[in-house]
Structure 1
Amino acid sequence: MVLCAAPAGAQEKKVDTVVSMTAEGAAKAPGDRELKQIVYKVNPWGTLGSSVAMTLGNMYAIKNILHAKEPISPAEIAALRPELFNGIDRWALRQNPAQRDQWFKISDLGLQGSLLASFSVLLDKNVRKDWTKILMMFYQTQAVTFTTYNFSPLGPSFQSRFRPIVYYEGFNDGLRLRGGNRNSLFSGHVANAAAATFFAAKVYTDYHPEIGKKRFLLYGLAAVPPLFVGYARIKALAHYPSDVIIGFLVGSVAGIGIPALHKIRPKTVQFGITSTEFGTGPSITWKPKKKSFKKLNTFNAVAVHSPHSEVPALK
């Protein structure tokens, strides 16, 4: 018995036990019969368990941290120095306060619209087949984003940045001086909106790698809803541009990162049984990583039983 290597394109006899993977990640059995495409591996217990734990922690933070901050005192109001803001954030202090309520409602609707729009990825039949996995990952993505907002050093548990509304004198003290106005950094609305839209874009590109560089256009479109939400939050006197930028980065990283953690990576080396003109035996298939999915060279190392001393050389 000897080992020889033959190009994968060589004529082979069909063996029932041979199952290979296409470049797109879809399984193919003998006779090129397509099997179900497997893109993500999701452990329900681990995914849901961690998400529920984060949700409980977030509920605690909302009641005992975010909504429990002391009201802003008159002394703090007297010490405000708007001239110390950088040029970008100072823009939030130059809004029309009369439009605050209108833009506040728009920002809430923008967040809800972003979350609903992300579910449009389920319209794709390939994605829809794995809807339970997708929903579990979506829940985990939002849980991670909200947990980062509540408990990271950049979030309101560690920061007490005044919202822009504090700098506007035309509002009554009940609205202007409440403790929740210490929670400006960073924008949770933008973070959750970005997590949703970038999640949808990432999932679609994972199921359709053939779109290639067009995925960047898809990510560009995914950035529009959270940026609009951020603009609305600035007009609503709830956040500064820097709050929006940080929220956008946090959400987009979570939206792309969580699906990436669950994604199944294609194996470059596979073992199986195959049959060629030289004989039948175990095979080792090597798939070099290529940028293009159109061409893929593979070689099979075949164990061949030969009664002769001379055997074909490696090709």
Structure 2
Amino acid sequence: MRLSAVVVSVFLVFSSSVAAQQTFPYQLSNKVDFPVLGAGILTTGISIYLDRRVEPLLEEQIGILEIDKIFGFDRYSTRYYSNSAHQFSNVTALSSIAFPFALLLDKDNRAHSGELLLITLEGALINAGLINFTKTLVRRPRPFVYNGTAPLELKLKQEARYSFFSGHTAVSSYFTFAGAQMYNDIYPDSRHKTTVWATAAILPILTGYGRMRAGKHFPSDVLVGYGVGAILGVLVPRLHRL
């Protein structure tokens, strides 16, 4: 799956229903914008502080890790380590970011670009803050740390302790669900809503699958990341609805 193909297909779906738009459904409000932005800034600041206190795993610590202590559901990812799967997840995650911005193909939406961009930014900021805060707090070793085929130098890096939860999946889920929710609100009578929501649901699944096959995340990391991103993607636009 190439990034350009995904972006073009998403743009075509969004732009095919511009005639269905009704009254622009969103309005900015200090009562909503300041708390959401504040939460994103606060969690990001705390995560930066905690990140400085996270020490990489030592070779001795890696040597005593036991797969048997991992919940059976999560052992799936310890069998895999793949750079191609890592690149695949990068492509699907980047493709997901196009969703909200595809709405700007409609000239009527471009008149409200400030509102759309700020709503998207607010959710993206709090999503990123939650991702980084949780990673630096939990410090869960990634699946590849348990895999003998993964290079030791990678296991000894700080980021090898940032498995929970999956940032790629959460980012992918946030942007696709935010784009789908805004599409749903702006074009309530569109016949393409089912297609948009289905695409919004599938792209993060592909991203999460790539992260597991890359050995970067456990299934539980992916499930939590998917849920966090989806909830924020739906909730943040709804908080701004008229």
8 Å Cα contact 2:44/2:128 also seen in 1: yes
Higher strand content, 1 or 2: 1
Change (3 A) 1:184 1:87: same
Taking only aligned residues, the RMSD between alpha carbons, in angstroms, comes to 2.7
**Could you report, residue by residue, the CA deviation over 1:219-272 in whole angstroms, capped at 9, with x for unpaired residues?**
2210111111111111221101110110000001111100100001xxxxxxxx
User: Which structure features the higher share of helix residues?
Assistant: 2
Per the alignment, residue 157 of structure 2 pairs with: 178
Q: How do residues 11-30 of structure 1 correspond to structure 2 at under 5 angstroms?
A: none
Whether contact under 8 Å (1:69, 1:180) holds in the other structure is: no
**Distance between the aligned counterparts of 1:232 and 1:67, measured in 2?**
28
Kindly report which structure 2 residues correspond to 1:153-168, keeping only aligned pairs within 5 A, or say none: 155-168=134-147
Identify if the C-alpha distance between structure 1 residues 146 and 120 changes in structure 2 by more than 3 Å, giving closer, same or farther. Answer: same
1:43 aligns with 2:43: no
Partner of 2:57: 72
Query: Could you list the runs of 5+ residues in structure 2 that have no partner in the other structure?
Result: 1-19
* Cα offset, 1:45, TM superposition: 9.6
Q: 2:215 aligns with which of 237, 240, 260?
A: 237
In structure 1, what residue type is equivalent to 2:122? Q
How far the C-alpha of 1:164 sits from its partner, in A, is 0.7
Using structure 1 for the length normalisation, give the TM-score: 0.63
What is the deviation of 1:77? Answer: 2.0
User: 2 CA distance for matches of 1:134 and 1:78?
Assistant: 49
- Give SS of 1:186's match: coil
* 1:148 aligned onto 2:130: yes
Q: For structure 1, which segment, 131-140 or 112-121, has the greater mean C-alpha deviation from structure 2 after superposition?
A: 112-121
Which structure has the higher relative contact order (CA within 8 Å, separation 6+)? Answer: 2
CA 1:51–1:164: 2 relative to 1, 3 Å: same
Comparing 44-53 with 118-127, greater Cα deviation is found at 44-53
- 1:30-88 Cα shifts (integer Å, max 9, x gaps): xxxxxxx23111137963785377347526624x3336411212332232221233343
1:85 has 2:70 as partner? yes
Choose which of 229, 233, 240 in structure 2 pairs with 1:255. 233
* Seq. identity, %: 28
Moved more, 250-259 or 174-183: 174-183
Code of the aligned partner of 1:78: G
Q: Match for residue 308 of structure 1?
A: none
| CA displacement at 1:178 relative to structure 2 | 1.9
Q: Which residue of 2 aligns with 1:188?
A: 167
Q: Is the 8 A contact 1:126 1:207 kept in 2?
A: no
Equivalent-residue separation in structure 2 for 1:191 and 1:84 (angstroms): 26
In our comparison, the structure showing a higher alpha carbon Rg is 1
Deviating beyond 6 angstroms after TM superposition, the runs of 4 or more aligned structure 1 residues are: none
Gaps of 5+ in 1: 1-23, 27-36, 265-315
68 and 232 in structure 1: CA distance in 2 versus 1, 3 angstrom threshold: farther
Change (3 A) 1:208 1:117: closer
Structure 1 residues 79, 200: CA separation in 2 closer, same or farther (over 3 Å shift)? same
Paired with 1:25 and 1:233, the residues of 2 have a C-alpha distance of 37
How many Å apart are 1:170 and its aligned residue? 3.1
Helix, strand or coil at the partner of 2:165: coil
State whether residues 44 and 136 of structure 1, in contact with CA within 8 Å, keep that contact through their aligned partners in structure 2.
Answer: no
Q: 1:208 aligns with which of 162, 170, 187?
A: 187
Aligned residues: 223
Shift of 1:192: 1.0
For residues 234 and 128 of structure 1, do their structure 2 counterparts lie closer, same or farther at Cα, with a shift above 3 Å needed?
same
